[in-house]
Amino acid sequence: MKHPTPKATRHVNQNEGLIFEKSSPGKAAWKLPPLDVPDVDSAKLLGASERKDLGNMPEVSEIEIIRHFTRLSTWNYAIDLGMYPLGSCTMKYNPRVNEVVARLEGIANGHPYQPEKISQGALRIIKTLSDCLIEITGMEAITLQPAAGAHGELTGLLMARAYHESKGNPRKKVLIPDSAHGTNPATAAMVGYAVENLKSNARGMVEVSALEAQMNEDVAALMLTNPNTLGVFEQEIDKIAKILHAKGGLLYMDGANMNALVGKVRPGDFGVDVMHLNLHKTFSTPHGGGGPGSGPVAVKRALEQFLPTPVVITKPDGTLGFEYNRPQSVGRVRSFYGNFGMFVRALAYILANGPDGLRQTTEDAVLNANYIRKGLEGVYDLPYSTPSMHEVVFSDRVQAKKGVKTMDIAKRLIDYGFHPYTTAFPLIVPGALMIEPTESEDKTELDLFVDAMKSIAQEVEEDPQIVLDAPHSTRVSRLDETAAARKPVLRWKPA
Amino acid sequence: MRYLPKSPTDREAMLKAIGARSIDDLFAPIPAEYRLNRDLKVPRQMAESEIVDWFGQRSKENGIEYTSFLGAGAYMHYRPVIIDALISRGEFLTAYTPYQAEISQGTLQAIFEFQTMICELTGMEVANASMYDGSTAAAEAAMMAVRVTGRNSVVVAKSLHPEYREVLATYAYHQGMPLASAGFTDSGRLDLKELEKAIGPDTACVLMQSPNFFGTVEDVAAVADIAHKRGALLVVSIAEAVSLGIVEPPRQADIVAMEAQSFGVPVGFGGPYCGVIATKEKFVRQMPGRLAGQTTDRNGKRGFVLTLATREQHIRREKATSNICTNQALVALMVNIFMTVYGKIGLRELAKQNLAKAAFAAEQFGKHARVLFAGAPRFNEFVVQTSEDPYVINSRLLGHKIVGGLPLKKFYPELGHAALWCCTEMTTRTAIDTAAGMLAESEAEEPRGEQAVEEVAR
């Protein structure tokens, strides 16, 4: 197993080059219709601004493009192939009907500036999704404009800042637990807040006494992920909210882990003032190799006036429209209205589920995580024994004694046919293995995963090298990331 | 629920294995007073056929069968069918960010090709794997210029897309990043005298768009000279990517912040689109967003990884170049496939058709109304000034299933009764003739005085 078999690497499918390496003059994959207006002399029209040459852009035929990208696609792992338990990423099934409805003529081809009179379908989609998300979160108003989770964080904190400014003092800092996603502190910095770290307690939760000690009138907000990145529900959430509110601070919830809560509990009910959702996590829009996402921000009434412009309103005649005149708005965070195509998919997901389906989904997600936890407890170190919700975090403490780290175990998992879990996060767990199965896995797949993880643990004991050298089954073996960063090659150049 | 792969027996067996009496045990950590003991008030569970039908109705309410002359940052170009055929492959659609390189080579190699083609087209040396859209790319590029120069203010061209300017203002407000602006001349180009005056010792960059919001191709070299002489960078925003097929790219720029929607991405009521930042190699470590780089595996075989992650939030936290995490990978793949289909020759031919259609339309419209900014070259958009309010004209056109140009009153009241019209390769001569004819009719008649006008374009 140490070296891939020669046959596999010689196969043409496994050696697809760069598209530029297939290019040669005269090949084409395009054909334009004849021009129905007089042709123009571009040199005359553009003068010195005329472009004469497009450099090394490729010239290839259609079949070559189909084969090129199809071959490349086969080098990817995907949810469609198997379990993808990346913690905090919520890699659930992406329903195909979502893709179909997003491509309907009026939905795919509507122009953002077309008259409202002929945009009622799009506006109805935005309104219906907004209403559903407000109900799901227990909040009171929403914007769908942010393009991703981190963009939602930015929008939410901008609104928090505007809220404090309207009260005469923007305040100086944002509290962030040490278990938080890196986007939280990066966002706070973008909004001009100093970041103050909040230590977790031995149970992996916010230490309420520490929060009490750190909370004062300089604190604009606490950014809390709930369940947090350990997959633990902040059981003292009522106290946390009270401490913040007593000093005029706001409770911001990072909704990255909302898949643990939908239909079971609503953040608006437990004191959250502003939160973002990730439609590409909880609401099944495809991750597509890293995006697009969509990060709606839901708020309580006290923050509604600060929502980005425009907002969708119902006009006196019952039709829907955009309202731009909102003097206290934080302004616009993106052109047009956000990633509309993702709204369509998220709404299709909600409609396919209904209230019963959404609740069952959450229950299954939590059931799956706990089933894995039970299966691997004792095999891998569980640094926090606090009950898990939708994900479970182990550490490589046992395996590290043999020189095997979480990343090595992750790479070996690839040989067993699974995508690895999230490695080395959250930061409060050294050598973390963060596993989020989602509701989309059946019992058999979970059993296979547990078996694989147990088998790797055994390999670590008996023959750690096999784990250290993994993966063995992939087209390429472990890639040299250090070399890539030291002397970056970020584009192809002709020889 | 049809997406859930468990039978009631499976669930029972799993609960038993866990040692839980019921599913409620697993939700015990949530304080009882907050647990939701009712159904969410969302629509009932629908069958797939009902979902298709519901969205089908919405689609019909959304202006199908209209011919549109709208552009202004969202362009209707033909999308080769192989784009959707390829991006619908589950291996692309349902994969995550390529953190595990060995099983993400498809996505990574595609990003590497994307970065290469963006460099070729923009004349820059490095490009990232995408940003949310053109507006946020422009704002992030301005912030990048602040980091590079150690200066903190930005001079923005008024001919930059108004919504891009709004986004920049939102981003800038809390960063201590003052914004100054420079207007445009009768040719539609950036007013260089105003620009000279607006640049100060604290100016980190000049941010302009070319072709600009009016469709006018800017004299990038002249602006670059002025900016560089004063120690500021030049950031050029490109909203209409197809222009790169026939308009000289802004090679003199230090940063290009573009919107690649024109390259095979549905207009889709405004998103998802595909922003990109490209720049010079020397600035790469200040560039936000993900980057794919080439490397080798243990056997010396070529492969690709995400690289230079030390700029990013998951490593640097509050000291990161940006908070960006999720990008627009699948949309970037659409762009990638589009660029590959048209390639070196096709992109130029495509751009030339756009040029020809717009030139023809401007000529026809110019017979009856005033086409502004005649003194400089334009790509596929142009501004038409009429004696009648363009909202009134558009209202009439709409009755003929034509969506007229974007009235500019909201963004540029100083231009009076002006509208921004766009023609792409999809705009037929028939549509141009019809619109020109109706424009002629309305301009020939006496002003009809105040009329009840429906809101027809924002």
| Residues B294 and B350 grouped into a single domain | no
- Cβ atoms of A76 and B107 within 8 Å: the answer is yes
pLDDT at B450 over 80: no
* CATH number of the domain that residue B326 is part of: 3.40.640.10
pLDDT at B452 over 60: no
Q: What is the token pair recorded at B292?
A: 């794919």
B428/A36 CB distance under 8 A:
yes
SS (H, E, C) chain A: CCCCCHHHHHCHHHHCCCHHHHCCCCCCCCCCCCCCCCCCCHHHHHHHHECCCCCCCCCCCHHHHHHHHHHHHCCECCCCCCCCCECCCCCCCCCHHHHHHHCCHHHHCCCCCCCHHHCHHHHHHHHHHHHHHHHHHCCCEEECCCCCHHHHHHHHHHHHHHHHHHCCCCCCEEEEECCCCCHHHHHHHHCCCEEEEECECCCCCECHHHHHHHCCCCEEEEEEECCCCCCCCCCCHHHHHHHHHHCCCEEEEEHHHHHHCCCCECHHHHCCCEEECCCCCCCCCCCCCCCCCCCCEEECHHHHHHCCCCEEEECCCCCEEEECCCCCCCCCCCCCCCCHHHHHHHHHHHHHHHHHHHHHHHHHHHHHHHHHHHHHECCEECCCCCCCCCCEEEECHHHHCCCCCHHHHHHHHHHCCCCCCEECCCCCCCCEEEECCCCCCCHHHHHHHHHHHHHHHHHHHHCHHHHHCCCCCCCCCCECHHHHHHCCCCCCCCC
**Mean pLDDT calculated for residue range A409-436:** 95
**Mean pLDDT calculated for residue range B71-100:** 97
All structural domains of chain A with their residue ranges: 97-350, 360-482
B134/A335 CB distance under 8 A:
yes
The model's confidence at residue A246, banded by pLDDT at 50, 70 and 90, is very high
Share of chain A above pLDDT 90, in %: 95
- Cβ atoms of B358 and B190 within 8 Å: the answer is no
For chain B, the domain total comes to 2
A287/B175 CB distance under 8 A:
no
Q: pTM score, two decimals?
A: 0.96
Nearest to A411 by CA among A347, A354, A481: A481
Choosing from B284, B317, B339, the residue where a domain stops is: B339
SS3 of residue B372 by DSSP = coil
- Which pLDDT does position B455 carry in this prediction? 53
Pick from A37, A107, A283, A446 the residue to mutate for testing the B interface (most B CBs within 10 Å): A37
Q: What digits encode the pLDDT tens for the residues B384-442?
A: 999 999 999 999 999 999 999 999 999 999 999 999 999 999 999 999 999 999 999 88
- Which pLDDT does position A163 carry in this prediction? 98
Mean pLDDT of chain A: 95
Specify the range with the lowest mean pLDDT, choosing from A14-18, A166-170, B180-184, B270-274. A14-18
- Cβ atoms of A252 and A277 within 8 Å: the answer is no
Share of chain B above pLDDT 70, in %: 97
Mean pLDDT of chain B: 94
| Residues B220 and B365 grouped into a single domain | no
Pick from B89, B100, B306, B323 the residue to mutate for testing the A interface (most A CBs within 10 Å): B323
Residue of chain B nearest A324, judged by CA positions? B458
| Residues B149 and B279 grouped into a single domain | yes
Choosing from B305, B322, B339, the residue where a domain stops is: B339
| Residues B329 and B375 grouped into a single domain | no
| Residues B260 and B380 grouped into a single domain | no
The matching CATH number, chosen from 3.40.50.2000, 1.10.10.60, 3.30.1330.60, 3.90.1150.10, for A360-482 is 3.90.1150.10
| Residues B351 and B256 grouped into a single domain | no
- Which pLDDT does position B447 carry in this prediction? 54
Is residue B52 one of the residues assigned to a domain? no
pLDDT at B319 over 50: yes
| Residues B139 and B229 grouped into a single domain | yes
Q: What digits encode the pLDDT tens for the residues A334-350?
A: 999 999 999 999 999 99
B34/A366 CB distance under 8 A:
no
Is residue B57 one of the residues assigned to a domain? no
The model's confidence at residue B444, banded by pLDDT at 50, 70 and 90, is confident
Burial B89-126 (b: 16+ CB within 10 A, else e): bbbbbbbbbbbbbbbbbbbbbbbbbbbbbbbbbbbbeb
- Cβ atoms of A224 and A207 within 8 Å: the answer is no
B74/A111 CB distance under 8 A:
yes
| Residues B237 and B324 grouped into a single domain | yes
Architecture per CATH, domain A97-350, reads as: 3-Layer(aba) Sandwich (3.40)
Range of the domain at B124: 81-339
| Residues B323 and B349 grouped into a single domain | no
- Which pLDDT does position A6 carry in this prediction? 46
Beta bridge partners of B384: B371, B419
**Residue B335 C-alpha, separation from nearest chain A C-alpha, in angstroms:** 13
Please give the residue that has the higher pLDDT: either A157 or A6: A157
The model's confidence at residue B446, banded by pLDDT at 50, 70 and 90, is low
**Mean pLDDT calculated for residue range A263-271:** 98
Question: For B252, how many CA atoms within 13 A lie in the half-sphere containing its CB?
Answer: 20
Is residue B417 one of the residues assigned to a domain? yes
| Residues B270 and B123 grouped into a single domain | yes
- Which pLDDT does position A7 carry in this prediction? 44
Q: What digits encode the pLDDT tens for the residues B136-177?
A: 999 999 999 999 999 999 999 999 999 999 999 999 987 889
Q: What is the token pair recorded at B5?
A: 């792969």
* CATH number of the domain that residue B395 is part of: 3.90.1150.10
Residue A213: Cβ within 10 Å count = 10
The model's confidence at residue B323, banded by pLDDT at 50, 70 and 90, is confident
ipTM of the complex as predicted: 0.96
